[in-house]
Amino acid sequence: MKAELPAVTFPGGRQVPALGLGTWHMGEGDASRAEEVASLRAGLDLGMTLIDTAEMYADGGAESVVGEAIQGRRDEVFLVSKVLPYNASRSGTIAACEASLKRLGTDHIELYLLHWRGRHPLAETVEAFETLKADGKIGAWGVSNFDQDDMLELLEAAEPARPLTNQVLYNLARRGIEFDLLRWSRVQGIPIMAYSPLDEGRLVGHPVLEEIGRIHQASSAQVALAFLLTKPGVIAIPKSGSPDRVRENHRAAEIRLTSEDLQLLDEAFPPPTRKRPLEMI
């Protein structure tokens, strides 16, 4: 029986699964392309319908892989892509989006993000986002790698428009956002997208995750994802180039971590007790 994925609701009411599909490092070589496409399609079969990509990933190669994977299934997919900060002028953002659309083989992207802050004024990038939205090329916009101070500046620059999400590095080993940004975002109604939810694989095989996994007949990776699925308003986007690993990730939704499990995780990966600089990869 397929596990029911929890959902996260964006401002405006659109719901997406709290467990999506990342594509970082996809599209870097022809040898793995067929399996990468198969992995994304396997995720769609399981209801992991949010696919996150970016023009930066393999210089557009990941978007090309996504475009192939969603052929004939576009209506199922909530598509997220990103503009590089040095492209994020008013005209540059529009040109970058149009190039992404071409690689993705679609006429619209549900959610378009500024990948991180650069030299272009936020108001200029937001103006371009709003133009793309008015033209029907994107459904909404957001940001990535913004700390709370950045978000406050963004809200002021964007008024009355608002971002749909903030995508940041968040996993058991990188819990800094729990001190302030995560709670602030929840109050603001701005969901967090957690990239590298397995800390680029470093959490796989961790002894405490293995211990908890034995109790739940689960892998360490599934336990790490299950932790994020306990967090309201958080969308995890693990990347996997293997259909079997995608199916394993999906089964994280079956795990119900107990208070004892969460205490063990807090002991192994202490939550922050002070403000930390926002971590990025």
pLDDT along the chain (281 residues), means of 10: 82 95 94 95 97 97 98 97 98 98 98 97 98 98 98 96 97 98 97 97 97 97 98 96 95 97 98 95 91
8 Å CB contact between 171 and 194:
yes
Q: What sign does the CA torsion over 190, 6, 17, 201 have?
A: positive
Q: What pTM does this model have?
A: 0.96
Catalytically active residues are: 57
Q: Write the CB contacts of 8 (distance below 8 Å, at least 6 apart in sequence).
A: 15, 16, 17, 18, 191, 233, 234, 235
Q: Is residue 147 classed as helix, strand or coil in its secondary structure?
A: coil
pLDDT of 2: 58
Q: Where are the beta strands (DSSP E) in the chain?
A: 7-9, 15-17, 50-52, 78-83, 109-114, 138-144, 166-169, 192-195, 234-236
In the three-class reduction of DSSP (H, G, I as helix; E, B as strand; rest coil), residue 99 is classed as: helix
- 142, 111 contact by CB (below 8 A): yes
Cβ burial of 162 (10 Å; 0-12, 13-18, 19+) is: middle
CA distance 237 to 196: 7
- pLDDT (0 to 100) of residue 1: 44
Instruction: Report pLDDT for 30.
Output: 87
Complete domains list, the chain, with CATH: 15-268 (3.20.20.100)
Q: How high is the pLDDT of residue 3?
A: 67
**Which three-class secondary structure state does DSSP give residue 231?**
coil
| The one-letter amino acid at 204 | V
d(CA 144, CA 147): 9
Tokens of 150: 């950045």
The region, left, alpha or beta by phi > 0 then psi within -120 to 50, assigned to residue 199 is left
Distance in angstroms (rounded) separating the CA atoms of residues 55 and 71:
19
CA–CA distances in Å: residue 123 to residues 18, 53, 56, 219: 30, 24, 22, 44
* DSSP-derived secondary structure letter, 158: H
